[in-house]
């Protein structure tokens, strides 16, 4: 069994590649069924010594036993794909594979190599363009702190890949140079696959400049959106609302992020792989990105007020966009489902399973006071709708009533 491992360097069309190939099977080559198109969780969990601390499971709030179950399933699925005798080649793809320590990456490739020859496919992106796109991704993931530098670790990843002895294909991620400007078509040309058998629907996760700024400001001001599956789902729905509401706003500019880009390896890359990128760091600083993100978009207030109005909610006079974002988030948290077709939130149907997440979010106001008191009180009231006689909730409400400050 031959294997192709797409080392999905972040922000190089990996989501499109994974979505396009997720159901691929031409009778000879197939995309390994590991649960999701992005196979990062399965591949990393299968080989990483620190799999229980993997960020995907940490954010979801899974127990150690639940994570162990996922590890067992991932290893079984990979082994089953490699053991097939009715196919010649299996394709694997995971964005977080590029972040594995060298020994664990080597172990993954060695495991695949036990079944037959391995090809490693890597796409790289212009450092400044990569920095702007990667910052969008980590903010969507919940970041409230910016890194000092955003790096693809080009030299480290390619050196580790070459050291495995596997065949290595390195491509410049420049969509306008691909067949039909389509990265999936480029992969098909490289691997001799049938593009007509691939899917065409791509996950729409791109944000406009306004949406990204608002999400950043929400992340920085509200700590209660991770550590519990319901909180995580509410954050996902909030992101969807922002993407839809500000879909026609200006795109994210490159300039504010140029100072965070890593240009250290561009000379080495040119000499070893013939790919040339320009150093854009002149006059740029790492603080440019933070200043840009902290600016309140001029087109935000009215649009967010309209989102609230669609659900019979009214922002008080003078409410800023971050206040309205919190209100929308709490609405998402109290809802069972956001319907992207109608762009509406369905009627609240709170149940006992919602209580831990609501209570945790509300009481976080007591710990560090990062939330507006009015918003925390709204969240507390939602929890009291589920458990009207909850002693902790009642004591907290009474204390807040006494302390108007």
Rounded Cα gap, residues 258 and 278, in angstroms: 11
Q: Residue 281: its pLDDT value, please? A: 84
**Strand 118-124 vs strand 338-339: parallel, antiparallel, or unpaired?**
unpaired
Residue 45 has phi, psi (to 5 degrees) of -65, -30
Q: Which of 400, 370, 372 is nearest to 384 (CA)?
A: 400
Residue with tokens 């691939």: 198
Output the DSSP codes for 311-328: TT--PPTT--HHHHHHHH
Q: Within 10 A of 56 (CB to CB), how many other CB atoms are there?
A: 17
Rounded Cα gap, residues 49 and 63, in angstroms: 17
For 60-92, the pLDDT digits (tens) are 888 899 999 999 999 999 999 999 999 999 999
Q: Residue 42: its pLDDT value, please? A: 96
Q: Residue 323: its pLDDT value, please? A: 83
Helices 373-386 and 391-402: angle between axes, nearest 10 degrees: 150
**Strand 89-94 vs strand 2-7: parallel, antiparallel, or unpaired?**
parallel
Give the pair of three-digit tokens for residue 364: 């976080």
CA angle 325, 327, 328 (to 5 degrees): 65
Helices 102-113 and 154-163: angle between axes, nearest 10 degrees: 40
Q: Residue 169: its pLDDT value, please? A: 97
Rounded Cα gap, residues 3 and 32, in angstroms: 10
**CA distances for 299 relative to 127, 232, 295, angstroms:** 30, 27, 12
Rounded Cα gap, residues 396 and 402, in angstroms: 10
Rounded Cα gap, residues 24 and 89, in angstroms: 11
**By three-state DSSP, how is residue 236 classified?**
helix
For 373-402, the pLDDT digits (tens) are 666 676 677 667 667 777 877 888 888 777
Rounded Cα gap, residues 92 and 94, in angstroms: 7
Residue-by-residue pLDDT tens, the chain, 405 positions? 999 999 988 789 998 999 999 999 999 999 999 999 999 999 999 999 999 999 888 878 888 999 999 999 999 999 999 999 999 999 999 999 999 999 999 999 999 999 999 999 999 999 988 988 888 888 988 888 888 888 888 999 999 999 999 999 999 999 889 998 899 999 999 999 999 999 875 555 779 999 999 999 998 877 666 556 677 778 888 999 999 999 999 988 888 988 999 999 999 999 999 999 989 888 888 889 999 999 988 779 899 999 888 877 777 777 888 888 888 887 787 654 444 455 444 444 445 555 555 566 565 555 444 455 666 676 677 667 667 777 877 888 888 777 764
Residue with tokens 């909030």: 238
Q: Residue 201: its pLDDT value, please? A: 58
Q: Residue 340: its pLDDT value, please? A: 45
Q: Residue 374: its pLDDT value, please? A: 64
**Strand 2-7 vs strand 344-345: parallel, antiparallel, or unpaired?**
unpaired
Residue 31 has phi, psi (to 5 degrees) of -90, 120
Residue 257 has phi, psi (to 5 degrees) of -105, 0
Contact yes or no for 261/125 (Cβ under 8 A): no
């Amino acid at each position: 069994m031959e294997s192709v491992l797409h080392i999905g360097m972040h922000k190089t069309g990996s989501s499109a590649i994974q979505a396009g190939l997720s159901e691929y099977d031409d009778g000879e080559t197939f995309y390994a069924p590991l649960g999701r198109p992005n196979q990062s969780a399965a591949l990393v969990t299968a080989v990483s010594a620190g799999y229980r601390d993997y960020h995907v499971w940490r954010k979801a709030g899974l127990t150690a036993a639940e994570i162990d179950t996922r590890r067992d399933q991932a290893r079984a699925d990979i082994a089953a794909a490699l053991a097939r005798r009715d196919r010649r080649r299996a394709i694997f793809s995971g964005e977080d594979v590029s972040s594995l320590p060298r020994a664990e990456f080597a172990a993954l490739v060695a495991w695949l190599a036990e079944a037959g020859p391995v090809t490693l496919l890597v796409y790289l992106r212009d450092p400044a363009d990569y920095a702007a796109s990667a910052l969008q991704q980590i903010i969507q993931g919940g970041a409230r702190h910016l890194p000092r530098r955003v790096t693809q670790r080009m030299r480290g990843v390619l050196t580790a890949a070459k050291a495995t002895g596997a065949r290595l294909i390195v491509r410049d991620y420049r969509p306008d140079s691909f067949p039909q400007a389509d990265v999936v078509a480029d992969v098909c040309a490289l691997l001799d696959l049938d593009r007509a058998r691939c899917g065409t629907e791509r996950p729409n996760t791109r944000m406009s400049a306004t949406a990204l700024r608002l999400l950043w400001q929400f992340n920085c001001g509200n700590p209660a959106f991770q550590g519990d599956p319901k909180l995580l789902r509410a954050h996902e729905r909030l992101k969807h609302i922002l993407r839809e509401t500000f879909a026609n706003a200006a795109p994210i500019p490159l300039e504010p992020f140029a100072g965070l880009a890593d240009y250290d390896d561009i000379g080495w890359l040119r000499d070893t792989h013939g790919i040339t990128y320009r150093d854009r760091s002149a006059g740029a600083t790492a603080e440019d990105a933070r200043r840009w993100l902290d600016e309140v978009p001029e087109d935000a207030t009215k649009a967010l007020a309209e989102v609230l109005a669609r659900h019979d909610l009214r922002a008080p006079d003078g409410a800023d966009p971050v206040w309205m974002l919190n209100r929308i988030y709490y609405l998402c948290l109290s809802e069972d489902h956001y319907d992207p077709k109608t762009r509406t939130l369905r009627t609240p149907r709170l149940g006992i399973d919602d209580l831990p997440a609501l209570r945790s979010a509300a009481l976080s106001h007591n710990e560090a006071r990062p939330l507006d008191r009015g918003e925390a009180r709204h969240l507390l009231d939602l929890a009291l709708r589920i458990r009207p006689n909850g002693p902790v909730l009642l004591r907290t409400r009474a204390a807040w009533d006494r302390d108007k400050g």
